[in-house]
Amino acid sequence: MNALLLALTWYAMPAAVLSGLLIANGVFTLIFVLELAIKVTGLGIVDYFSSGPNIFDALITAVRRDTYRGDIKEQRDTRGAWGELAKLIGWRRL
């Protein structure tokens, strides 16, 4: 579902659609962070990080969180045609 959501970008996308996608991306990021927190709490830090898939999930979640923060900053800071290009590139990261 999240991959489909991230693929729904196109050039000169209306601002309302972009804002909606940004909110949905934030919801998915929050779900992934909560999942990570619950797993770490349940398994403990040592057991959690002794599993390769858990390490991968933690890295992906950290990258998603930073990418999401960057997307919000780009949406606020950019203007005009270059701003639209920056937004489009921002959604393609990860």
Domain extents in the chain = 15-92
Residue type, 51: S
Mean pLDDT (whole number) for 15-43: 87
Instruction: Give the pLDDT confidence score for residue 90 in this predicted structure.
Output: 58
The Cα–Cα gap between 63 and 67 comes to: 6
Instruction: Give the pLDDT confidence score for residue 78 in this predicted structure.
Output: 47
Q: What is the pLDDT of residues 42-90, one digit of tens each?
A: 999 999 999 999 999 898 888 876 666 555 555 555 445 455 555 555 5
- Which residues are CB-neighbours of 6 under 8 A, at least 6 positions away? 25, 91, 94
